[in-house]
Chain A
Amino acid sequence: MSEGGLAFETFPGKAGPEWMMRIGAAGAPPILFIPPLFEEMNRTRALLVAIMRLLAERGHGCWLPDLSGTGESLRALGDVRWNDWRHDVTSASAYVAERSGKPLVAALRGGVLLDDAADATGHWRFAPADGAALTRDMVRAGLAGVEWAGYAPSDELKADLAAAKPEAVTALRLVRLTTDAQPADAKVPGPALWRRSEPGTSDALAEALAADIGEWSRACAGS
């Protein structure tokens, strides 16, 4: 039933191979996840993996790249430029396409600032954040004494992030939390885990998001 299981593969990053986690079979209809950025990435990791497991059980192959300078990457974050991350997303989507076909791209929070760089059957976005809001949070973290919450990105990356906005993409489904007043295609109840100082997950939220992604993936694959 759990054909494929868990695997780690590398894709060509800008300055060498970067790691990508796969849950589910390599040949199964693929979903490429673009994670939130900086501390939000850590805080939502358990949620992301829970969503990936649920989708793998339903016959999808789920892929999660480590952006250059994050996760298992050998590069120092300070050497990474915004365009390296965009390159990573393009390259990861091309790698997945070669292994198992063109993917649906599911992006969370700041990941939506990079997801247009992927070649995808469709896009799914959850709780999108623009670069200015993410920058503001990181600057505010500094008000309590720790600049950028301990992360040390280059000034170039900071400047590009601050100016980044989600780009228009086709076949887009936008999902937000019910506590978010802004318009969306669907709203789901659950905690804003990217705000939590202790990483956590929510079974109900993971299930709701996995179901929504699965449906959108089928809709995009059929169109």
Chain B
Amino acid sequence: MIAGSDEEEVAATLRAVLVDVLGLSETRVAAFDESTPLFGALPEFDSMAVAGLLTELEERLGIVIEDHEVDADMMETFGALLTFARNKSLQ
């Protein structure tokens, strides 16, 4: 159960970072599901947004993301990014 609530916390943090970095509405981001396409699909998600997203995730989740872990696949959908964030912060 504890693991479940931690997973929810990571999801909430990720949604908050997407709101802050991409400037999207909370309502819109709340409706994101695992299959929602992100990188390459949202005009707001440009190269500088990638940098901001990674830095904010590191600060808010207390993780370190290595450059070699970053590619287009891990940012392709909300589900892929959530899986990455959960693996980094709950491992």
Contact = CB atoms under 8 A, between A and B. Distances in A.
Interface of A: 39, 133, 136-146, 149-150, 181, 191-192, 195-198, 200
| Interface SS of A by simple majority | helix
B47 A198 contact: no
Contacts of A144: 39, 46-47, 50, 72
> Can you list the 5 inter-chain pairs with the closest CB atoms, starting with the nearest?
A140-B51, A195-B52, A146-B47, A137-B51, A144-B47
Which of B20, B23, B48, B49 has the most chain A CB atoms closer than 10 A to its own CB? B48
B22 interface: yes
Interface of B: 20-23, 39, 44-52, 54-56, 59, 67, 70-72
B85 to A, nearest CB: 16
5 contacts: A143-B67, A181-B59, A197-B23, A197-B45, A197-B49
A198 B48 contact: no
A195 B49 CA distance: 7
A57 B21 CA distance: 31
Nearest to A199: B23
Contact of B56 (A145, A195, A200): A195
Contacts of B70: 140, 143
A200 B44 CA distance: 12
Given A39-B48, A146-B46, A191-B23, 4 more contacts: A137-B52, A141-B50, A149-B51, A196-B52
A181 B56 CA distance: 12
A150 to B, nearest CB: 8
